[in-house]
Structure 1
Amino acid sequence: MRLDKFLKISRIIKRRPVAKDIANQGRIKINGKVAKSSTNVNVDDQIAIEFGNKTLTVRVNQILETTKKAEAENTYTILSEDYKHDYRMKK
Structure 2
Amino acid sequence: MRIDKFLKVSRLIKRRTLAKEVASLGRIQINGQKAKAGTEVKVGDEVSIQFGNKVLTIEVTELKDSTKKEDAESMYTVRKEESLS
Give your verdict on TM over 0.5.
Answer: yes
Aligned to 2:65: 65
Q: Deviations over 1:24-54 (max 9, x none)?
A: 1111000000000000010000000011110
Aligned-residue RMSD, C-alpha: 0.5
Counting matched residue pairs gives 85
- The structure with more radius of gyration: 1
Taking the aligned partners of 1:29 and 1:62, their CA distance within structure 2 comes to 18
Which residue in the other structure is 2:82 paired with?
Answer: 82
When normalised by structure 1's length, the TM-score is 0.92
Letter in 2 for 1:72: A
Q: Runs of 4 or more off by more than 6 Å in structure 1?
A: none
- Mapping of 1:40-55 within 5 angstroms? 40-55=40-55
Identical positions, percent: 52
- Look up the match of 1:56: 56
**2:12 matched to 1:12?**
yes
